Amino acid sequence: MAPFPVQLSPIFGHWGAYLVYAVIGFAFGYVLEIAGFGNSKKLAAQFYFKDMTVLKVMFGAIIVAMVLIFGATAVGLLDYNLIWVNPTYLWPGIVGGLIMGFGFIIGGFCPGTSLVGAATGKLDGVFFVLGVLFGIFLFGETVDSFAIFWNSSYMGRYTLPELFGLPTGVVVLGVVLMALFMFWGAEKLEQKFGGVDAKAAPKWRYAAAVAIALGGIVLIFLGQPTATDRWAKLEAEKGQLLADRAVQIHPGELLSLIEDTNIKTVMLDVRNESDYNLFHILDAQHVPLADLPNVVDDLHFEPANAVFILMSNDEAAATEAWKYLVAEAVPNVYILEGGINNWIALFGDDNLTKGFNAGAGNDELCYIFDSAIGDRYPASEPDPEAYELEFTPKVQLELKRAPTSGGCG
């Protein structure tokens, strides 16, 4: 991926970064104002089908950004995993959208445009902003009373390609064609209800429509990079970490991480279910290799102090999992050195029986257990005070690159 900076501070300094943010904010507000979006009458006119500028501008921005984003990911300039996508809470989202929609119709502003209106001295904009602030306060004071509904129907980072089970390029082209049809319909509504002269509309819009549609078609042929594609680009750099044993951590270090309250240790056991049921470390989550794609989005939502430790019987499966998560831009990923076999060798009872495959290096469990009681063996939760282990610490928290929040103007 292109080496774009994660933060502006290292380039422009602390206050320089704030200056950049201020310039971007001013430019955004300026564009909204000169487009007439600081005027509630113009915004409200769309609900009477007299002026559909808002719909055309918003959908225009959506499809242009969509084509550019997925075009950039297709050619390797951008990692889609590092882009904030609002997690879906289906029914709360529907109810919240209806509330905001009614507020938009009644007040003539959305939150972003109300700030533009207030900044330019419009009284209705000022009152709308005050209403927004009061609504935020009221929500914060009452959310506990409906928290169950507020957090219900969680679907994660759910997108249209996942919903329809179609390639990203096909979905992008479909959305583009839908938007172009809506633009055509909006112009017809403006002509009928607003008396807009169709001849006055700029002719270049036809060329723009063709260009954006062609962009969607190109995306179908380009496709989107897979985790294998991304790893191929990272292998020269990241593969050396594996070769240097820089990411394989000693069981003693894992034990110290578990006890460290400043670190959130997320242990992912990628073995098959039978081995996991026989024995696993306390609090280790069972996530087989085949299921890793289903948890990547949740891993990106973990806090910045999260460290992910992968484990298999030896290291083979954990190493494959490490490559996949690194390709998916998950930070702070490490491998348990020697896997579960090494963990048991250090913390297990001396009377545990080794199997015939012990030391064969085939990523199979080397110990025989009388029953599958999982984390109820003493070795699953060793007492750190009972061991004096020497190891070289390897875990270094990386700057969290994945998105942690987002918003709407």
Spatial CB neighbours of 218, under 8 Å, sequence gap ≥ 6: 71
In a domain, 400, yes or no: no
Domain boundary among 166, 199, 226: 226
216 and 311 in a single domain? The answer is no
The reported pLDDT for the residue numbered 6 is: 55
The pLDDT tens digits for 294-303 are 999 899 989 9
121-142 confidence digits (pLDDT tens): 999 999 999 999 999 999 999 9
Question: How many Cβ atoms from other residues are within 10 Å of residue 111's Cβ?
Answer: 18
For residues 231-251, average pLDDT: 94
* Count of domains observed in the chain: 2
pLDDT attached to residue 14:
81
Structure token pair of residue 227: 């985790």
Question: Domain for residue 255, yes or no?
Answer: yes
Ramachandran sector of residue 329 (left: φ over 0; alpha: ψ -120 to 50; beta: rest): left
The DSSP line for 69-86 is HHHHHHTTS--GGGS--P
Q: Which of 348, 333, 326, 331 is nearest to 280 (CA)?
A: 348
The CATH number covering residue 362 comes to: 3.40.250.10
Return d(Cα 173, Cα 175) in angstroms, integer. Answer: 5
Confidence of residue 222 (pLDDT cuts 50, 70, 90): very high
Q: How far apart are CA 360 and CA 367, in angstroms?
A: 12
Query: Are 21 and 132 contained in the same domain?
Result: yes
71: Cβ–Cβ under 8 A, 6 or more apart, which residues? 215, 218, 219, 222
Per the prediction, the chain carries an average pLDDT of 90
Residue 324's pLDDT band (cuts 50, 70, 90):
very high
Domain finish residue from 207, 226, 245: 226
Question: How long a stretch of residues is the chain?
Answer: 409
CA 279 vs CA 115, 126, 227, 367: distances in Å: 58, 62, 30, 10
Assigned domain for 394 exists: no
Q: Are residues 33 and 164 part of one domain?
A: yes
Residues 181 and 291 both lie in one domain: no
Q: Write out pLDDT tens, residues 70-79.
A: 999 999 899 8
**Residue where one domain finishes, among candidates 226, 246, 270:** 226
Q: What span, in angstroms and rounded, lies between the C-alpha atoms of 191 and 184? A: 11
List the beta strands (DSSP E) in 178-332. Answer: 248-249, 264-269, 285-286, 306-311
- Domain span at residue 163? 9-226
Tokens of 117: 């209106």
**Cβ contact 325:308 at 8 Å:** yes
409 in any annotated domain: no
Confidence label for 12 from pLDDT (cuts 50, 70 and 90): confident
Q: Give domain status of residue 323, yes or no.
A: yes
DSSP state for residue 16 in the 8-state scheme: H
- The C-alpha atoms of residue 290 and residue 361 are separated, in whole angstroms, by 22
In a domain, 96, yes or no: yes
Question: How does 115-148 read in b/e, with b if 16+ C-beta sit within 10 Å?
Answer: bbbbbeebebbeebbebbeeeeeeeeeeeeeeee
Reading the block at residue 38, the tokens are 């600081």
Residue 406 is assigned to a structural domain of this protein: no
Q: Which of 54, 43, 37 is nearest to 119 (CA)?
A: 37
CB 389 within 8 A of CB 252: yes
Which element (helix H / strand E) includes 154?
strand 154-156
If pLDDT is split at 50, 70 and 90, which confidence band does 408 have? low
201 in the same domain as 235: no
Same domain (yes/no): 166, 292: no
- Residue 277 and residue 338 in one domain: yes
Residues 204 and 258 reside in one and the same domain: no
- Position 370 scores a pLDDT of 83
Q: What mean pLDDT is predicted for residues 3-11?
A: 63
Assess whether 108 and 242 both reside in one domain: no
pLDDT of residue 306: 95
Asked if the structure places residue 399 within a domain, the reply is no
Domain shared by 185 and 265, yes or no = no
Query: Is 155 in contact with 88 (CB distance < 8 Å)?
Result: yes
- If asked whether residues 145 and 218 sit together in one domain, one would say yes
Q: Helix (H, G, I), strand (E, B), or coil: what is residue 405?
A: coil
- From the list 349, 397, 394, the residue with the least C-alpha distance to 251 is 394
Which tokens belong to 79? 């990692």
pLDDT at residue 405 greater than cutoff 80: no
193 and 330 part of one domain: no
